[in-house]
Amino acid sequence: MLKTEVKKHLENDLIPFWQGMKDEVHGGFYGYLGYDLKLDRQAVKGCILNSRILWFFSNAYLLLGKTSLLDSARHAFVFLKEYCVDNQYGGVYWSLDYKGRPEDTTKHTYNQAFAIYALSSYYDASGDTQALAAARSLYQLVETRCRDEYGYLEAFSRNFEPVDNHKLSGNGVMAERTMNTLLHVFEAYTELYRVSGEMQVAERLRFMLDIIADRVYNPRLGRQEVFFDRTWHTLTDLYSYGHDIEAAWLIDRGLEILGDAVYTSKLSSVTKTITENIYNRAYTGHSLVNEAENGIVDTTRVWWVQAEAVVGFLNGYQKYPEQKKYLEAAEDIWEYIKSSLIDRRKGSEWLPELDQDGRPAEKPIVEPWKCPYHNGRMCFEVIRRSWDAS
């Protein structure tokens, strides 16, 4: 039932919704749909949003094989190539205005990572060597401009002078490094390595796996730390449940693609522990709570956290089939998503978040961070698994 229902939701709801967000006049996809379902055709277009949409349609085509999906991916690719990339200084802007002119010229490593991720998938879907060349170019830029001996730096001006990391910091701290950015660079390089097989990318994956195991992962607490200074000293007591369950399966995916027995041995116990701890600490009320800071739990149910929990628990069950509780949790959270998070209003998608009593926050349905990446990927992962979790 799970796989059947998720495939139906992907084909009947998510894909038509996002195809309907295509801007046929100025390119790319519209950047804002309010909670009131009013479309702002002149809203800022986040480059992360466009990269994630490119990734979504590329993978939808790879999975379903429908020409219209490749057409949508190509539309996103042209916009990324012609508008999101800075031809003077290199790299991808943070955002553009509705006509495709630079709006925020910040260069963030997180943003470069999602462009690499999307371009790699689009190359796989289309065979367009321009996309692979663009992904490789951004990879080289990240390696030469965004990395030091300790790991990946984060925020830069247009010409790659370091600036404060306002965009990926939070919870009252200004972080020089974040678990979130590292995770998504790892994710992007995993996809680039999958489609290119380049050994230098594999070495960077090993570099990041060492950082995750030795710096980011806290073995005493069985969690990832979130915000760091330059030399990986944690800055706050924060448990990000969504990022942890997402990281558990993304790291496992990276280990699978890398195929290095030494690193698989080193990290598998980490992902196993994280999955178990998320089940015990965050899974309650048929869903995952958001986070805990200084021991105080934020009980908000955030859309993307639920999507990642479905995948993370399915991954845990696939690795450890004796742990049927993970399969049951994934199915339970999908029921919660169906009953509470999917917005049944015509012309909508998923609600962004709910309080613990199920009341929705009146936040946008589409904005620079609200996209088909997490929920679309949940659908892909459920469908792609070789067994039917029913």
Q: For the chain, which ranges sit under pLDDT 70?
A: 386-390
Q: What is the pLDDT of residue 1?
A: 84
**Which SS3 state, helix, strand or coil, does residue 1 take?**
coil
Name residue 293's beta-bridge partners: 238, 296
C-alpha–C-alpha distance, residues 325 and 280, integer Å: 11
196, 136 Cβ separation under 8 angstroms: yes
Burial class (CB in 10 A: 0-12, 13-18, 19+), 129: exposed
Q: What is the pLDDT of residue 147?
A: 97
Q: How many CA atoms lie within 13 Å of 81's alpha carbon, on the beta-carbon side?
A: 17
Beta strands in the chain, from DSSP E residues, in sequence order: 45-46, 95-96, 102-104, 107-108, 147-148, 151-152, 155-156, 177-178, 217-218, 223-224, 227-228, 238-240, 283-284, 287-288, 291-293, 296-298, 301-302, 353-354
Q: Nearest CA to 384 among 7, 1, 5?
A: 7
Domains recognised in the chain with CATH numbers: 2-384 (1.50.10.10)
Q: What is the pLDDT of residue 386?
A: 60
Overall pTM > 0.95 = yes
Q: What is the pLDDT of residue 389?
A: 45
Q: What is the pLDDT of residue 385?
A: 85
C-alpha–C-alpha distance, residues 263 and 325, integer Å: 27
